[in-house]
Homo-oligomer: A and B are copies of this chain.
Amino acid sequence: MTGAAAHDWLDAQEPALRARLYDFARIASVSTDPAYAQGMMNGAAFLAAYLREIGFDHVAVNPTPGHAILTGEWMGAPGAPVILVYGHYDVQPPDPLDQWHSDPFEPELRDGRIYARGISDDKGPLMVALGAMEALMATAGGLPVNVRLLIEGAEEMGSAHLEDFVTAHPGLVTADFLLSADGAMWRADLPTVTVASRGMAALNVTVRGAAKDLHSGRYGGGVPNAAQVLVTMLAALHDPETGAVAVPGFYDGVVPPDAETRAALADIPFDEAGFLAGLGVRQGTGEAGYSFLERNWLRPTLEINGLTSGYTGPGFKTVIGAVAEAKISCRLVPGQDPGRILDLLEAELTRLCPDCATVSFARKPGVAWPSALPLDHPGLRLAMEVLEEIYGQPARAVRMGATIPIAEMFDRVLGMGTVFFSFSTADEDYHAPNEFFRLERWQDGLRAWVTYLARLAAMERPE
C-alpha cells in the first residue's frame, strides 16, 4: 500500500472533507464553560458517528467525571505497528466576541486561511488525521497499520481525567507510540517536529523573621528583615559568574548536550537577536556558553516567578516585613527527577537560611517529568522524511522549553513516546480571537498523513 490511490481520492474528495471539518467547527464544544455542555456532547457525538462511518471498531464515548473521552480502533493489520492517534474535540472559549471579524462558530475562508474557534487547536489537525484515514479506508478497505484512537474533551482545561482513564484502560491505548494530531509546529517558515519538553516542579518559599511587621526606625538594624533574608538566600541559588543553578546536585544526571545536538540546533535558522529584541530584551542572559535555544530547550532552569514582602503599595512605609515569600519553579530536562529537585532546593534554602529567621515550603501539587524522544525513533524519522518531501527542505527536530502534558503523561505512565505530527502553526492565534488554520497546511496535512501511515507499515516496530 503506497497511498497512491488514497492521494487520488483526496484530490477529488478534499472539498467534501473540508465541508465536514466546517460542520465540526460549527459545534461550540467549549470545555471550560458549563454553558456549552450541549456543544461538548454534540462534538463527541459528531466524531463518534464519523469514526463509525470511516470504519473504526469499538467506537465509544467514554464518560469521565469531566468530559467524555472517545476511543476506537482498527486492528486489521497483524504484525504491523500499532499507533495511538491523539487529538481533542474541545476548544477555547470564543471571548472576546467583539474582536472576531467573523462568527467564531461559522468557518470562513479568507486569504487562504480558515477562520473559526478551534480550527487550528485542534479540530483542523484532528480532521487531517481522520480524513487521511478515511481516504485510506475508502481506497484500500483498511489501514496499513493498526490504529487506536484517543480523542479527549478536556485538553483546554488541563486533561484532568485523562491520566486516570489511561491508567484504568491500558488495553484501549497500548501502542508502539503515540502519534499526536495536536501540538503546533514552531514556525510557519520551517517544517519542524517537536521531540522534547521540559519537566517542571514548583515551590512556595516563606521566610519569617519577627512575629509581626516592625518599625524600621525603632527596630531597624537589630532585628531580622525577612525580605533581606529572602533576597540573600535567593541570590545564592545561581552562580554569579556562570549563571548556572548553584543548588548542589541540581545537575546530577543531566547529560551536557553533545556536539551533534548542538550543531543541529545551531543549524536551525533562528534570528536570536531579532527574537530577543521583539521581546523588549536588551540582551540575552542565562547559563554562560549557551545560545538562547540551548538555554530554553536543553538546559534546566530555576526561575523566581513571584516575590513579595513588606509594603508594596504606592509611596513608602518604613516597615520591616515579618514575612517574605517567593514562588520558584524549575524547568527540568532528562536525568532530573522533579521530586528530588525539590528536595535539593529545600535542603539548600534551609542551609542558606540564617539562624535569625525560619524558612518553610509549600510544594505546587503535581510535578511534570521531562520527556524526550530519541532522535533515531523510527516514527520520528519517518515524520521528518515526509515533511522534507513536502516542503523541500530538511525538517528540524525542535524542543519545547515548556511542558507538554500529553507527552509527559504517556511517557511517565505507559513509557510511550509521542511523535507530534500536527499541521497547525504556533502563530495561528489559537487561544485568541480570529483563530485560523492555513488552508494549504490542511491540504498538506491530509497527504502527509496518508504517506506517513502507508510508509509506517513497512517499518520495523520501535522497541
Chain A residues close to B by CB (< 8 Å):
198, 200, 202, 204, 209-212, 214-225, 227-228, 230-232, 234-236, 238, 240, 276, 279-287, 292-293, 295-296, 299, 301, 303-312, 315-322, 324-327, 329, 331, 354-358, 364, 400-403
Contacts of A312 on B, CB cut-off 8 Å? 306-308, 312, 325, 327
A218 to B293, CA, bound (A): 10
A224-B303 in contact (CB<8A): no
In-complex Cβ contact of A308 among B209, B276, B308 (8 A): B308
A281 to B356, CA, bound (A): 7
B307-A310 in contact (CB<8A): yes
A310 to B327, CA, bound (A): 9
Q: Chain B residue with minimal CB distance to A293? A: B222
A225-B304 in contact (CB<8A): yes
Q: Chain B residue with minimal CB distance to A400? A: B217
Quote the shortest CB–CB distance from A225 to chain B (angstroms). Answer: 5
Contacts of A329 on B, CB cut-off 8 Å? 216, 316, 318
Using known A-B contacts A305-B319, A311-B305, determine if residue A222 contacts B284 with beta carbons closer than 8 Å: yes
Contacts of A284 on B, CB cut-off 8 Å? 222-223, 356
B305-A216 in contact (CB<8A): yes
Contacts of A238 on B, CB cut-off 8 Å? 228, 232
A287 to B221, CA, bound (A): 7
Closest 7 A-B residue pairs measured CB to CB? A211-B280, A217-B402, A235-B235, A285-B356, A221-B295, A222-B295, A227-B304
Using known A-B contacts A231-B231, A308-B307, A318-B305, determine if residue A402 contacts B279 with beta carbons closer than 8 Å: no
In-complex Cβ contact of A318 among B202, B211, B287, B326 (8 A): B202
Quote the shortest CB–CB distance from A237 to chain B (angstroms). Answer: 9
Contacts of A307 on B, CB cut-off 8 Å? 227, 230-231, 307-310, 312, 321, 324
In-complex Cβ contact of A299 among B219, B221, B292, B303 (8 A): B221
Contacts of A310 on B, CB cut-off 8 Å? 304-307, 327
A305-B331 in contact (CB<8A): no
Contacts of A403 on B, CB cut-off 8 Å? 217
A301 to B236, CA, bound (A): 22
A316-B364 in contact (CB<8A): yes
A221 to B287, CA, bound (A): 7
Contacts of A354 on B, CB cut-off 8 Å? 285
B295-A306 in contact (CB<8A): no
B228-A304 in contact (CB<8A): yes
A310 to B212, CA, bound (A): 24
A357-B282 in contact (CB<8A): yes
Contacts of A308 on B, CB cut-off 8 Å? 307-309, 312
Quote the shortest CB–CB distance from A128 to chain B (angstroms). Answer: 25
A331 to B319, CA, bound (A): 12
Quote the shortest CB–CB distance from A127 to chain B (angstroms). Answer: 27
B217-A198 in contact (CB<8A): yes
Quote the shortest CB–CB distance from A305 to chain B (angstroms). Answer: 5
Quote the shortest CB–CB distance from A200 to chain B (angstroms). Answer: 7
A234 to B304, CA, bound (A): 15
Q: Chain B residue with minimal CB distance to A276? A: B223
Quote the shortest CB–CB distance from A400 to chain B (angstroms). Answer: 7
**Among A227, A276, A293: residue with most chain B CB under 10 A:** A227
B211-A279 in contact (CB<8A): yes
Contacts of A402 on B, CB cut-off 8 Å? 215, 217-218
A331 to B220, CA, bound (A): 8
Using known A-B contacts A217-B402, A221-B296, A311-B306, determine if residue A356 contacts B283 with beta carbons closer than 8 Å: yes
Contacts of A318 on B, CB cut-off 8 Å? 200, 202, 303, 305, 329
A301-B228 in contact (CB<8A): no
A227-B306 in contact (CB<8A): yes
Contacts of A321 on B, CB cut-off 8 Å? 304-307
Contacts of A320 on B, CB cut-off 8 Å? 303, 305
A401 to B315, CA, bound (A): 22
In-complex Cβ contact of A280 among B212, B236, B293, B325 (8 A): B212
A305 to B228, CA, bound (A): 9
Quote the shortest CB–CB distance from A195 to chain B (angstroms). Answer: 16
A216-B355 in contact (CB<8A): no
Contacts of A301 on B, CB cut-off 8 Å? 216, 220-221
